Amino acid sequence: MSEALTTISDAATAEGQRPVKGRRSRYLVLSLFVLVLDQWSKWLVEMKLAERGSIEVIPNLLDFTYVKNTGVAFGLFAAHGDGTGKWILTGLGLAALLFVGYYFKAVPLGDRPLLVALALVLGGAVGNLLDRALSGAVTDFVDFYFGTYHWHTFNVADSAISIGIAVMVLATFRKSPEGASPRAS
């Protein structure tokens, strides 16, 4: 078995291609970048702002406001009390993370947009899951608003997840790339 993998790797290298084994790693580097940027930005906000503290970044459009979110996206299902909600949401986040990881591994290597999208979702999911598991809440701080209308406060991980999902949706409307298996209609 090992000889067969070595032969396949050698053949790919001889044809000027990189061995298939290491090609997913560049997408995992993107996930790691999202995770590091997310955790660093949350740490910075926690160090520089008091909870509920705010810094105006762009007048009448964007503030950095430190909020602890005990719920899921946009504060839905916020946990108030005994900690059971924390563990349920952590479990659901872990299940979603496992699904994304499995899907990431199953996507053909030729489907770059979908791999980038899944890498963004993976990095963001790990960032928020880490917060929830360690402190029971996710640090949010990006506060967009227009007049009196405020979008729900979010963070880098939420942004990566949202962009990743948008790219996945767009990817479903394009042709399958060469070398990738066709998508089911």
Residues 39-91 have pLDDT tens digits of 999 999 999 998 888 999 999 899 999 999 886 555 555 555 556 666 777 78
Reduced to 3 states (helix: H, G, I; strand: E, B; else coil), residue 117 is: helix
Whether the pTM exceeds 0.85: the reply is no
Confidence of residue 8 (pLDDT cuts 50, 70, 90): very low
CB atoms within 10 A of CB 134: 9
Contact 36, 16 (CB under 8 A): no
pLDDT recorded at residue 179: 52
pLDDT recorded at residue 5: 37
Please state, in angstroms and as integers, the Cα–Cα distance from residue 148 to each residue in 61, 66, 82, 141, following that order. 10, 18, 34, 18
pLDDT recorded at residue 144: 92
Instruction: Give Dmax (Cα) for the chain.
Output: 66
Q: Which residues are catalytic?
A: 140, 158
What digits encode the pLDDT tens for the residues 121-172? 999 999 999 998 888 889 999 999 998 898 889 999 999 999 999 999 998 8
